[in-house]
Amino acid sequence: MKRIIFHIDVNNAFLSWTAVERLKNGYKVDLRTIPSVIGGDESARKGVVLAKSQVAKKYGIVTAETLYQARCKCPNLVIIPSDYSIYKKYSDELYDYLSKFSPDIEMFSIDECFLDMTGTDKLFGDPITLAYKISKEIHEKLGFTVNIGVAENKLCAKMASDFEKPNKVHTLFMNEIHKKMWPLSVDNLFMVGKKSADILKKFNIKTIGDLANADINFLIRHFKSRGIMMKSYANGIDDSPVHEEERQDGISNSETFPYDIYEIPILEEKLLELCEMVGFRLRSMNYYCYTVSVMLKTSSFKVYSHQKKVDNAINTTHDIYSIARQLLKSMMGDEKVRLIGVRVTNFTEKRSKQLSLFDDETEDFSEVQKVVDHLKNKYGKDIFINATKIKRD
DNA sequence: TCTGGGGTCCTAGGACCC
DNA sequence: TCTGGGGTCCTAGGACCC
């Protein structure tokens, strides 16, 4: 049976959702009708544009540029800080609404969903008509617009939803690929980023059609296994299933400093804060981790990472930090640091408690940690600050 | 241009074991 | 002392995504 897959993509998600939320809260101005962006902290001079209104786009503002640059292009730009609780709320609403149409639903990111609609035509009728109906209902009930791609697999559905925006339904069936997808520039293809596109263009592979017909041996030589994937995608081939989201593979937090740092105590203080954030998230998922890694970005934007695997899974801030701190020490060189990050991976649900002769049982902070987390959940994350901070103040 | 933050997957090379 | 080949695990780094 021919598969039918929908890809639903929220138009300017963060900005649209913020606009809807504000209208609900009594604001008179719809952010979507004025030059506005969602961005980080402008004062710390490290914020970038995360999402923009169509009006802001007309000023030439692009995603990921600094707020400073954006403000130069449009002095009366309205900048709203990001608020993940709002995005989560609308993302959940969208998911709940879409779940009515198929049990096979996959949340691909906070603002994108795949639906496997294969065989549902007896229930809902013609898929394309249904896509228009879903799009209209989302606008009416939830207040924001979406693009919907309709195709025979996930790749093509995703490519289709990316065609013309906003508030559009597009199809990309197998017999439309040469007409609708092949003329596009290679960098439009999912999983072909800037680096790969640059290499391809050097060899005169400029469009997705060129890539689809490129020599497979040439692609493997330059891109290894990704070469095979790229050629399949360019031909619209993808048989991956729509599945429920599986459990997360890792948790990370990182922070860019407003200036370059080389003092170890300052780095350690930030590192501890990050371990606290990562640990808190890990514990709220009831997981333990085996691997901790630390990432540094230097002032010249070179990225380093070191990781360490432990025999007994851990989840307290104390345990994560003691490993992270060793890692940081092992990687500090002469260069100043611009960004520091902590990541935990290799999860397990239960702690494999195998106390070795050398473990000190009094070092087990899990019970204390539970109480601290509970209080944080109840009264907010800021009720505890770490002792190293108090000393510094 | 002067470059955020949170993720996933892949690969190469070294260590170690048999 | 000089030494093969396969397998697995771990680490560091790169590319890509939203």
CATH number at residue A11: 3.30.70.270
**Of A42, A93, A106, A112, which one is the catalytic site residue?**
A112
Instruction: Give me the number of domains chain A comprises.
Output: 3
Return the closest nucleotide (C1') to the Cα of A196: C15
Whether residue A384 is predicted with pLDDT greater than 80 in this model: the reply is no
pLDDT at A133: 98
Structural domain containing residue A94: 1-175
pLDDT at A373: 79
Q: How do residues A44-64 score in pLDDT, each as one tens digit?
A: 666 788 899 999 999 989 888
The CA–C1' separation of A66 and B4, in angstroms, is 9
pLDDT at A386: 58
Asked if residue A241 is part of any domain, the answer here is no
Chain B: nucleotides under 7 Å from a protein CB?
Answer: 2-12
Q: Are residues A167 and A198 in the same domain?
A: no
Beta strands, E only, chain A: 5-10, 36-39, 49-52, 78-81, 105-109, 112-116, 146-151, 169-172, 250-261, 288-298, 303-314, 337-348
Residue with token string 């891109």: A223
Strand C contacting residues by CB (7 Å): A 109-112, 158, 189-197, 291, 293, 303-309, 330
Asked if residue A244 is part of any domain, the answer here is no
The CA–C1' separation of A345 and B12, in angstroms, is 21
With distances taken from each CA to the C1' atom of nucleotide C9, the closest residue turns out to be: A309
Q: How do residues A207-239 score in pLDDT, each as one tens digit?
A: 999 999 999 999 999 998 899 999 999 999 999
The CA–C1' separation of A220 and C4, in angstroms, is 30
pLDDT at A244: 76
Asked if residue A40 is part of any domain, the answer here is yes
Beta strands, E only, A152-275: 169-172, 250-261
Return the closest nucleotide (C1') to the Cα of A303: C13
With distances taken from each CA to the C1' atom of nucleotide B1, the closest residue turns out to be: A65
Which of the two residues, A68 and A191, has the higher pLDDT score? A191
Return the closest nucleotide (C1') to the Cα of A331: C12
**pTM exceeding 0.85:** yes
The CA–C1' separation of A321 and C4, in angstroms, is 43
Whether residue A101 is predicted with pLDDT greater than 70 in this model: the reply is yes
Return the closest nucleotide (C1') to the Cα of A192: C16
A333 confidence band (pLDDT: 50, 70, 90) = confident
Whether residue A4 is predicted with pLDDT greater than 80 in this model: the reply is yes
Whether residue A131 is predicted with pLDDT greater than 50 in this model: the reply is yes
pLDDT at A309: 94
Q: Are residues A167 and A190 in the same domain?
A: no
pLDDT at A362: 47
Mean pLDDT value of segment A81-109: 93
Whether residue A295 is predicted with pLDDT greater than 90 in this model: the reply is yes
* Distance in angstroms (rounded) separating the CA atoms of residues A309 and A68: 41
Q: Are residues A41 and A130 in the same domain?
A: yes
Mean pLDDT value of segment A304-323: 94
The CA–C1' separation of A125 and B16, in angstroms, is 61
Q: Are residues A26 and A94 in the same domain?
A: yes
Whether residue A107 is predicted with pLDDT greater than 60 in this model: the reply is yes
* Distance in angstroms (rounded) separating the CA atoms of residues A385 and A378: 15
Q: Are residues A282 and A170 in the same domain?
A: no
Q: Are residues A323 and A341 in the same domain?
A: yes
Whether residue A145 is predicted with pLDDT greater than 80 in this model: the reply is yes
Q: Are residues A167 and A222 in the same domain?
A: no
Q: Using a pLDDT cut of 70, give the percent of chain A over it.
A: 91
Mean pLDDT value of segment A287-293: 95
pLDDT at A199: 93
Strand order across the A146-151 sheet:
A105-109, A112-116, A5-10, A146-151, A169-172
Q: Are residues A171 and A185 in the same domain?
A: no
pLDDT at A393: 37
A391 confidence band (pLDDT: 50, 70, 90) = very low
**Looking at residue A230, which CATH number applies to its domain?**
1.10.150.20
Mean pLDDT value of segment A309-332: 93
Query: What one-character-per-residue DSSP string does A60-112 give?
Result: T--TTSBHHHHHHH-TT-EEEE--HHHHHHHHHHHHHHHHTT-S-EEEEETTE
Strand B contacting residues by CB (7 Å): A 40, 45-48, 50, 64, 66, 68-69, 224-226, 248-256, 281, 301, 338-339, 341, 343, 345
pLDDT at A11: 95
pLDDT at A153: 97
The CA–C1' separation of A239 and B13, in angstroms, is 33
Q: Are residues A313 and A344 in the same domain?
A: yes
Q: Are residues A79 and A20 in the same domain?
A: yes
Asked if residue A246 is part of any domain, the answer here is no
Catalytic residue flag (residue A112): yes
pLDDT at A364: 56
Whether residue A138 is predicted with pLDDT greater than 60 in this model: the reply is yes
The CA–C1' separation of A249 and B8, in angstroms, is 8
Mean pLDDT, chain A, whole residue set = 89
The CA–C1' separation of A292 and B16, in angstroms, is 22
Return the closest nucleotide (C1') to the Cα of A13: C18
Chain C: nucleotides under 7 Å from a protein CB?
Answer: 9-18
Return the closest nucleotide (C1') to the Cα of A305: C12
Q: Are residues A158 and A36 in the same domain?
A: yes
Q: Could you tell me which residues come within 8 angstroms of residue A233 by beta carbon, excluding any fewer than 6 positions away?
A: A155, A189, A190, A191, A192
| C-beta of residue A9 within 8 angstroms of C-beta of residue A159 | no
